[in-house]
Amino acid sequence: MSTGELVLFHSTFLPPFVQYSVVPAKASSKNKPHLNLPIPGLSSGKLMHDFGVSQNCTVIIDCPISLDPFNLRHNLSAIQYDPNGPTRLGVFPRHSPENIKWFDTGASIVMHTANTWDESTPSGTRVHILLCRMNSLAPLYHMGGMEAPKSVCPDNPQCRLYYYQINPESAIAQQWALSSIPFEFPHVPRHLEMTAARYIYGCSMREGNFASQFMESVKIDCLAKIDAKRFLEIGQRTPPVCPEGSVDKRTMQEILCSEDPEDPIQVFALPDGWYAQECSFVPRKDGKSEDDGWLVTYVFDESQLNEEGEAKADSRSELWIIDAVGMKEVVAKVFLPQRVPYGMHGNWFAENQILNQRDFTGFRL
């Protein structure tokens, strides 16, 4: 984050269930770490994967997903999802989790947040958060290489880029989806995090959905660039009906047919049989616009699979470098010596970040 701090949380099976830490870039008498601070207001172990951090606030996401390993003694899943329970957003000043305030919204599952930022208004501070909101527990099964049971999958699986505007003193003021297309593994350029960044990049697909019951329906063959600023302006003037409403109601096929160069959703569609992974944005030095740069992602050609659908021993992935302005051109390809399995996360680190890492004094085995 721009402050140089490392902000993290961890979940446990015992009270207080979630603990929170802030580690400064350089510790001093005025800049002390805050370690293992309890998050108040949680009544059970929770499955949490991500959270939001703005310049001044932290947003903890308490989805109705309990995590209890003792269920295994009764041949029950350790993870239980309550589709009728609320999702709660907990907002607090970054260094003061004891001042958390919880706000209820409809049941959902959130694996990844995209961006969080503050806005000062005459009536007080507003906190904005963009995240990927799902209505299905299926991705947790897919991570384990399993098809999801029908009981955790709705008939209309959704995983969309979703917006919440929160007044930390009173309520969730607005909530709705920016688009109807499947959208996961979101990415905001690192130098624009915690600001009202215009573009959100992420993974999508022509068919299927990240929240689908079947693993074969989760193949990333599209990278999408969503003009969040434009959709937020439209949605704040005329908010869609929540929780199902979205500003842009088009399908991926309809977007791919668009010939509008100013379309607020630009899509890079991979060739048939090729599939991508999470992307990262690399800014051009002295770029002329926010999107002046490249997307980098691992891709794989499934013609290298054998008759059983397994990767051959000599299978190879590629790293593609894609022009982020037009979202059409692959400007370079790096041929890798082996296959990179699906599901790998990636990030981009500039040379100065690598050179300026803090020296370590020791490590534990």
Alpha carbons 355 and 46: distance in angstroms, whole number: 37
Given a cut of 60, is residue 334 above it in pLDDT?
A: yes
Model pLDDT, residue 352: 85
Higher pLDDT, residue 208 or 328: 328
Given a cut of 60, is residue 29 above it in pLDDT?
A: no
Given a cut of 90, is residue 346 above it in pLDDT?
A: no
Q: Of 105, 124, 140, which one is at a domain's C-terminal end?
A: 105
162 and 26, same structural domain? no
Q: Is 345 annotated as a binding residue?
A: yes
Beta strands 171-179 and 52-53 are: unpaired
Given a cut of 70, is residue 365 above it in pLDDT?
A: no
134 and 101, same structural domain? no
Residue 31's pLDDT band (cuts 50, 70, 90): confident
272 and 225, same structural domain? yes
Domain that holds residue 10: 1-105
| 111-139 average pLDDT score | 92
Model pLDDT, residue 317: 97
Three-state SS string over 87-151 comes to EEEEEEECCCHHHCEEEEECCCEEEEEEEEEEEEECCEEEEEEEEEEECCCHHHHHHCCCCCCHH
Residue 188 corresponds to which tokens in the numbers above?
């905001």
Residue 314 corresponds to which tokens in the numbers above?
């000599």
60 and 205, same structural domain? no
Alpha carbons 41 and 325: distance in angstroms, whole number: 44
Map residue 74 onto helix, strand or coil. helix
Model pLDDT, residue 67: 83
Q: Mean of the per-residue pLDDT values for the chain?
A: 91
Residue 30 corresponds to which tokens in the numbers above?
């005025």
Does residue 171 form part of some domain? yes
Given a cut of 80, is residue 249 above it in pLDDT?
A: yes
75 and 53, same structural domain? yes
Model pLDDT, residue 291: 96
Amino acid identity of 74?
H
Domain count of the fold of the chain: 2
137 and 85, same structural domain? no
Task: Write the CA distances from 189 to 10, 323, 364, integer angstroms.
Answer: 25, 14, 33
Q: Taking Cα atoms as reference points, which of 221, 335, 326, 230 lies closest to residue 279?
A: 221
Q: Is 10 annotated as a binding residue?
A: no
49 and 100, same structural domain? yes
Residue 360's pLDDT band (cuts 50, 70, 90): low
Q: Of 53, 77, 105, which one is at a domain's C-terminal end?
A: 105
Instruction: Verify cis geometry, omega within 30 degrees of 0, for the bond prior to 168.
Output: no
- Residue 328 CA from chain centroid, whole number: 23
Tens digits of per-residue pLDDT, 193-240?
999 999 999 999 999 899 887 877 789 999 999 999 999 999 999 999
Given a cut of 90, is residue 254 above it in pLDDT?
A: yes
Alpha carbons 27 and 21: distance in angstroms, whole number: 14
Q: Taking Cα atoms as reference points, which of 164, 176, 7 lies closest to residue 90?
A: 164
Given a cut of 60, is residue 315 above it in pLDDT?
A: yes
Given a cut of 90, is residue 72 above it in pLDDT?
A: no
Task: Write the CA distances from 145 to 128, 154, 214, 356, integer angstroms.
Answer: 34, 20, 10, 39
219 and 89, same structural domain? no
Alpha carbons 19 and 11: distance in angstroms, whole number: 7
Residue 108's pLDDT band (cuts 50, 70, 90): very high
Residue 364's pLDDT band (cuts 50, 70, 90): low
139 and 35, same structural domain? no
Residue 258's pLDDT band (cuts 50, 70, 90): very high
Model pLDDT, residue 349: 86
Model pLDDT, residue 124: 83
Map residue 230 onto helix, strand or coil. helix
Does residue 321 form part of some domain? yes
Higher pLDDT, residue 282 or 362: 282
Does residue 249 form part of some domain? yes
Q: Is 34 annotated as a binding residue?
A: no
| 48-68 average pLDDT score | 93
Q: Taking Cα atoms as reference points, which of 128, 186, 189, 182 lies closest to residue 157?
A: 182
Model pLDDT, residue 155: 85
Model pLDDT, residue 256: 97
Amino acid identity of 98?
E
Higher pLDDT, residue 205 or 33: 205
Percent of the chain with pLDDT over 70: 97
Given a cut of 90, is residue 141 above it in pLDDT?
A: no
Q: Of 105, 136, 152, which one is at a domain's C-terminal end?
A: 105
122 and 25, same structural domain? no
Given a cut of 80, is residue 363 above it in pLDDT?
A: no
Does residue 364 form part of some domain? no
Does residue 363 form part of some domain? no
Instruction: Give the residues across from 281 on adjacent strands.
Output: 295
Model pLDDT, residue 2: 67
| 30-54 average pLDDT score | 90
| 21-25 average pLDDT score | 90
Does residue 362 form part of some domain? no
309 and 188, same structural domain? yes
3-state helix, strand, coil split of the chain in percent (to 5) is: 15, 40, 50
Higher pLDDT, residue 188 or 14: 188
Instruction: Give the residues across from 110 on adjacent strands.
Output: 133
Model pLDDT, residue 322: 98
25 and 154, same structural domain? no
